[in-house]
Structures are given as structure tokens and as C-alpha cells.
Amino acid sequence: MDIRIGTGGWAYFKVPGMDSLVAYSKAFDFVEVNSTFYQIPKMEMVKSWRRRVPEDFEFSVRCHKSITHQHFLEPTSEVIETFNTMIEICRYLRSNFLHISSPLKMEFNREKIKSIRDLFSIIELRGLRLVWEVRGQKNELDHEVVKIMEDYDIVHCIDLSTQNPQIESDILYTRIFGKGHHNVYQFTDDELAEIYGKAKDSKPKRVRKAIHAARMYKDAARLKVFHQTGKFPRVTKNLGVLSLKEVLMEDTKFPITKEELVEKQGWKVIDLTETERVHASLLLEKLPEKIYQRVGEIIKELKKR
């Protein structure tokens, strides 16, 4: 099984003195180009991305939003032209996957299904695989959408942190956001292990995992280490309440209530023990209800318990 683990973009992967993409490609061998959903890059920029990474590095590309969120997959001349531009980007990057996401408000009535079929019958993918994320249909895909995917050999994109694969395929492609609001989430070891297990159980030939949650680089690195060694690395230098102190010191704004602490800091992961990573909320929930003025006060309260 060919498994590649990466994230949605490299822009925030910062290493002093290094280009972000170059640095990213030393840590991971796969990336989903998220920026192409918002803006179509110039081809010279695309070519420079390919030049800056190793030969075996793999890109997947997100299709521009005008195709899905403006024209709703209608087979217009503008959509076809944009689709062909995205395919050209994939060709320069030597990408295997072109990702499309249909919006929540898209209704799959008879006319829409016909339009989508007309579009996919026109597009010449030249060996490229379409990956389709159907927003708003997490639990059960529309029967006609399933038929389109089967007929055009399209990969169904899911979020393995909240969904199970619904269509048998030789490829599993997952965009992983987690259970937080607006992707504000970090995964525990158990959650990452569950994601990993779901992928293996579906028995595809190729697996592509693009993590998009708030700490995507750290979470992707942890999942990659688990894939290679069967063990998860620590996320902080300390254990227990001192690990909590470490993450609270990052950006907690005081004064703050217990409720605010749980909401704004509880999603982060700490090292409870040498082998156990949990959400900070596990400890923060034990605090008495009051307003806290500093990190030391929080740690002092927890040490009493």
C-alpha cells in the first residue's frame, strides 16, 4: 500500500533561512495545493514549485472555486477553459490528483446531474484522477452522485476523522479537519491511530492524507512517525500539568474564566504521560469556576487535585 501523508499547503511551514516549500519537502513527500482554490497561479510560479522539490515529491491540486462555487459544475465554455487550466497546472506539477469540492448549497436534481455528466464527458483528464468532495453529504451520498463517480472513475474525498469511506476504490483520498469549529483542532494519538486504521482497513492501493487542522504540520509529522515506527512522538517537552503549562504559555490571554480556557485552549494536545497524548480540556475541566489571572495560578490549582 502506497501511503503519503502531508498537509493543505506549505505557506506556514517556517524554518529560519529556508524557503517554505523547500523546507516542507524535506519533512513530507506529499502536499495538497490549497491556494489554487482561491487564485489561479501563473504557470511560471507553478513550474518553480516543481523545481524546488525532489523528483519523488507529489502534489495534488485543488480546482479553482469558480468551477464549483460560481458555475456549479455547469459545462459552460468558461468552466471548461478553467478546468483545462487546472489540468495544465497538474501536468507541470506531475500531479496525479485534481480535487474538486461541491458547495453545501448544490442540489443534485435531474438537471444538475445531467449537467455534471455533460461536463465530465467533455473534460480530457489524460490519466489524471478527479477527487470529489461532496459537501453536505457526509453520511450517505446521493445515488446519482455515486453513479457519476463510478462511471467516470472519480475518487470520493472524505474526512476520515468524521467519516468512513462510502465507495470502494483503489485510491483513498482524505482531507482531515478534525472535530473543532473552523478547523481549530489537534488530534490525540488515539484519534490519529483511528484515522490510520480506517485507511488500512479499506485496503486501497494508494492512500493520500492531507491534514488541514490548526496544527496540521505537527499532526501530519506525528502520523508519519506512527506510520514509520508504530509509535507516536511527544508533542511537548514536559509531562502532565507542566505539559499543559507549556501549551498555555503559547497564547493564553488573561484574565480568563474556566469556560473560556476550555473553549480556547482545550482543543490543544498535551503529554499526559510518556505514552499518552490527550486534549488539554481533560485537565482544564478539573479547575474550579473562577477568573484566572496567570498560568501559574492554573497550574497551582491543578496540582492540588
Side-chain half-sphere exposure of 151, counting CA atoms within 13 A:
12
Mean pLDDT of the chain: 95
pLDDT of amino acid 270? 98
Neighbours of 4 (CB within 10 A): 19
Residues 295 and 252: beta-carbon distance below 8 Å:
yes
Domain that holds residue 292: 241-303
Residues 194, 269 within the same domain:
no
- Structural domain contains residue 235: no
In a domain, 236, yes or no: no
Residue 293 grid coordinates: 489571572
Q: How far apart are CA 174 and CA 18, in angstroms?
A: 29
Query: pLDDT tens digits for 4-32?
Result: 999 999 999 999 999 999 999 999 999 99
Query: What cell does 117 get?
Result: 455528466
Residue 218 belongs to some domain of the structure: yes
Q: Sign of torsion, CA 58 62 64 68?
A: positive
Asked if the structure places residue 214 within a domain, the reply is yes
Same domain? 261 vs 208: no
pLDDT of residue 1: 85
Angle at 107 between CA 142 and CA 8, to 5 degrees: 80
- Assess whether 15 and 147 both reside in one domain: yes
Rounded to an integer, the average pLDDT of 54-69 is: 97
List, for residues 254-285, the tens digit of each pLDDT value: 999 999 999 999 999 999 999 999 999 999 99
The yes-or-no verdict on residue 201 having pLDDT over 90 is no
- In degrees, to the nearest 5, what angle opens at C-alpha 34 toward C-alphas 52 and 248? 95
Q: What is the pTM of this model?
A: 0.94
The pLDDT value given to residue 182: 83
| Shared domain check, 169 and 273 | no
Which cell numbers in the block locate residue 101?
Answer: 469540492
Domain boundary among 201, 229, 257: 229
- 291 with 180, same domain: the answer is no
User: How many whole angstroms from its chain centre is CA 29?
Assistant: 15
The tally of domains found in the chain comes to 2
Give pLDDT, residue 14. Answer: 94
Phi-psi category of residue 292: left, alpha or beta, with phi > 0 → left and psi -120 to 50 → alpha: beta
> Given pLDDT bands bounded at 50, 70 and 90, which one contains residue 39?
very high
Write out pLDDT tens, residues 211-242.
999 999 999 999 999 999 999 999 999 999 99
69-103, pLDDT tens digit by residue? 999 999 999 999 999 999 999 999 999 999 999 99
So what's the pLDDT on residue 203?
83
Query: Are both 188 and 259 inside the same structural domain?
Result: no
Question: What is the distance between the alpha carbons of residues 177 and 161, in angstroms, rounded to a whole number?
Answer: 7
